[in-house]
Structure 1
């Protein structure tokens, strides 16, 4: 008997998947998860589960969760662990918030799609007990400084081109699995949260005179793949610097939906929470950092700074809005004139579109942005679910909200972030310095052996087969207070397990047959 149903029925999910899980009793085998994985993500149908030793290939994007009509597919819940740490009170909990959360969180509390709730969100995190609240847009500016410097190094020193962005961990894993020959083209610059984690546990630690063991970093993101990214074994550079390899750079990832559940479990309504500002040691970043959440945003932010690095002067404000890389077209291309050079770029969202782009040839491009989720991070696998609404309209509302915040920003270029300049002066020295390479850059892994076959043969989705009833040997428990179904082995996870929806204890769960 195989461990999974045929991939033509539904997406197979491994029990040890760090991003998501399936509640078996809720699955109606409708095939919606199968469709999004094969058609938009281009993973389903691109591996033979018999050849992969009955092991699922997954890039952790969580798009299957957004399509599941019964709540059978859910993200792994980590907020309860953070709550326990806060309750103990012996650690400094540092929250860092991604741009897309502030245009998605309000939807969980009845606000219009795309509502910009940044100050309410910060106030909510203070109410939950965060000791420090930082904006990941600061680290997005840091990523741009490193990534733009790397791009210029590649162009001027004839290194592998095009340079592909590295901010999307699902995309990185996609390349590692299906296109390992392109790994030298992926920027070595870490994503913003994976730069922020080690910066907090080194520079910030020294500023605040803290011990690295006493800091817990929690990223609030729209992305389920970030739960996987922070657990990659190489993401422990701050610890390695201090000879403590067991310390992760980022300890927890909480999605937008999880944050909403956390607040509701404590009877906190976002609408009623007092607004607050970010802490100012590592303050809010530039407008360029804000638009990271949009498809095309990383490219646009990088071009603003790359132009300055190449030409020694900023692009005029009226020309930093790169319309050609904005919008919801799956593949967008542009040629940008910088100084005396034509820089050819492309922006892609949806890894199915990335497959098509790669198939057509990557020669001649200088810089390519890829995001796995349609619309970018604003539609990540951890964002609010809208099964009966027009998702394109929701994506547009969230995208426009971030662009409006960029337009209102006093600083719209990453390289003009005053506190970022101070960080380089006091700590990293300059982009791509030895210390920057150690803490802010990374390497990648050839995962093609996971396919146990030449990946080029999987060009067509697996044939869809009719759904069928399949018995499962797993045991489920139902919360008698709210109806949440827990599926696991013989017992619940631990003696102090609490319901992720209503927070009642293990004793109020009943076994289901």
Structure 2
């Protein structure tokens, strides 16, 4: 949950300016409050907040108590700001001492271009190898990657889109990877829920796969597994806690922490991040394509889906893997992509405040798009509320540009750049899932949504 500490809030209302759903209420110069019925937990207020606990002034509540109340580790030395998300890193720290559970972790694509910033490296430094190494040093039994289930998401979502387009399903189909966006639809436009893809997010697909297929290949009982995710997003713990996210027979993802919390944990355990070797994620559930990598960027889910969708429909290689027409920054953009005889009309919304006009057009039947990606945060997941905090506003554009460049370069340098060509994806369908949208995948990888709108 996102909170504002009234002892530290100066009433500058920067948080109100960035909130995409007008959930922050209060007068200028007075402590602000969050309307939890509106809040989508994106954490942009956490990123922008400048009100912090001064080192040389007394405040009513001791810093140690604030750290505890926020779910933070006692060893944290960073400034304490007014806007914050209550975390779960203490729970993970305790878990890592438990020898009786099989500890599995996954990392979202944006984490590998954010984490190093908290260790003094250049903004946007790409560190997948050191990330994997750090997680092993912390004590995880398997270090897997959300990028793998980003590829899995494309197989399911791309097939779902083709089915909707060719068989007359509800269009446009919206992506469902961003939990803040899904929550927004549920509480603001529940009449448009049918437009959301039924696919779970990559985080939740991973949780379900780890405790079924993963348990089998590791010869571990699912009840003895503990699944942790590291995310750039402050809404991911909410998503992991949704009551329907237990298709493995257990809580699919037991706990989600942010990039910032992982950095705190690495420091707490006195791991020298700079001296870590470059290591690989564990296979097969850590194997990924370039398409899975770019999920961390606005337009990335769309581009990944088009790379695979084109080839599934036409049975031919896509002329160019780099679909720059859907790339960009904050705002709403559209493109038309020729997929065989089909002219596929797509849209990308980056920054939730830009989505309302589109939603109103859909309600009135004026929208002719087939597929729309929506990301709540302004540049997609790389600018998530759980990423390293950018204290100076002038660093923001540099950080975002470098993070984007890091993921695009990572994609370009990988041998496999299409989700359907990932050998580990082929393997999981052959050995376990059967086929996209099949019985097993529907059972584990798809979900439903519900209205949260007050009558």
Q: TM-score, normalised by structure 2?
A: 0.88
Distance across 2 between alignment mates of 1:23 and 1:57: 18
Which of 1 and 2 has greater Rg?
1
User: What is the total number of aligned residue pairs between the two structures?
Assistant: 415
Equivalent residues in 2 for 1:112-151, closer than 5 Å: 112-151=122-161
Partners of 1:136 and 1:284 within 8 A in 2: no
Distance across 1 between alignment mates of 2:453 and 2:323: 36
Among 303, 306, 309, the alignment partner of 1:303 is 306
1:264 aligns with 2:246: no
1:326 aligns with 2:327: yes
Among 388, 391, 405, the alignment partner of 2:392 is 388
Deviations 1:387-429 (A, max 9, x none): 3133223211101110000000100110001111110011110
Q: Which residue of 2 aligns with 1:410?
A: 415
Distance across 2 between alignment mates of 1:331 and 1:77: 32
Instruction: State the 1:329 CA deviation.
Output: 4.2
Comparing 85-94 and 150-159, the one that deviates more: 85-94
Q: Which residue of 1 aligns with 2:69?
A: none
Among 193, 204, 210, the alignment partner of 1:194 is 204
Q: Which residue of 1 aligns with 2:224?
A: 214
Question: Mind listing any 5+ residue stretches in structure 1 that lack a counterpart?
Answer: 1-16, 47-53, 240-246, 453-513
Among 263, 275, 282, the alignment partner of 1:279 is 282
Instruction: State the 1:76 CA deviation.
Output: 1.9
Partners of 1:109 and 1:269 within 8 A in 2: no
Partners of 1:101 and 1:256 within 8 A in 2: yes
Partners of 2:46 and 2:85 within 8 A in 1: yes
Instruction: State the 1:77 CA deviation.
Output: 2.2
Instruction: State the 1:218 CA deviation.
Output: 0.5
Partners of 2:200 and 2:447 within 8 A in 1: yes
Distance across 1 between alignment mates of 2:391 and 2:102: 38
Other structure's SS at 1:181 match:
helix
Alignment RMSD (CA, Å):
1.7
1:66 aligns with 2:47: yes
Instruction: State the 1:35 CA deviation.
Output: 1.5
Instruction: State the 1:45 CA deviation.
Output: 7.4
Deviations 1:327-363 (A, max 9, x none): 1141111000000010000001111101132234462
- Seen in structure 2, the aligned counterparts of structure 1 residues 33 and 423 have a Cα distance that, compared at 3 Å, is same
Deviations 1:206-254 (A, max 9, x none): 1121111111111111011101000000000001xxxxxxx21001111
Distance across 2 between alignment mates of 1:303 and 1:55: 36
Equivalent residues in 2 for 1:35-74, closer than 5 Å: 35-37=17-19, 41-44=20-23, 56-69=37-50, 70=52, 71-74=81-84
Q: Where do 4+ consecutive residues of structure 1 move more than 6 Å?
A: none
Equivalent residues in 2 for 1:97-176, closer than 5 Å: 97-176=107-186
Q: Which residue of 1 aligns with 2:346?
A: 345
Partners of 1:236 and 1:248 within 8 A in 2: yes
Distance across 2 between alignment mates of 1:425 and 1:189: 20
Instruction: State the 1:36 CA deviation.
Output: 1.1
Other structure's SS at 2:343 match:
strand
Q: Which residue of 2 aligns with 1:223?
A: 233
